[in-house]
A = this chain, B = another copy of it.
Amino acid sequence: VEAIEPSLELYRDQFQLTVAHREVVEEQGVEAVLLDLGENHVELLAPLGAETPVGKFLAKNGPGLHHVAYQVENIDVTLDALKQAGLRLIDEQPRIGIRGSRVAFMHPRSTDGVLTEIVEPAAGAGEH
């Protein structure tokens, strides 16, 4: 989304989801809000600037669905398994994501056009 607040009115106030976490993730150039949805989350992402990955996505596509993230127990083991399966990765090594998690993205060419992330939560940080 272009900005967090108008989307919070939709997701928090209209859809009545509960905000679980809000954070500026400088390394990824985004402000992020996690809203609880059962065991999972809806994540709102707004860019910190036009030259960030999400800023470029918005310029090209407009607002919409950006990626899907799956929680994994051990991101190193999963990354190795994905490599061995021949999947193309954006991140060969994990980076730091929201709430101190370790994250990595697969390339959409390997995942039916869906930008796909795996997330290993930080110890004690709860689910992504």
- A contact residues vs B (CB 8 Å cutoff): 1, 6-7, 10, 14-15, 37-40, 42, 61-65, 68, 70, 82, 85, 87, 108, 110-114
Contacts and interface: CB of A to CB of B under 8 A. Distances in A.
Contacts of A14: 82, 85, 87
Contacts of A38: 38-40
Contacts of A42: 68
B15 A63 contact: no
A64 B10 contact: no
A7 B112 contact: yes
B114 A64 contact: yes
A9 B24 CA distance: 36
Given A39-B39, A65-B68, 15 more contacts: A7-B112, A10-B110, A10-B111, A14-B85, A15-B70, A37-B70, A38-B38, A38-B39, A63-B114, A64-B65, A64-B108, A64-B113, A65-B65, A65-B113, A65-B114
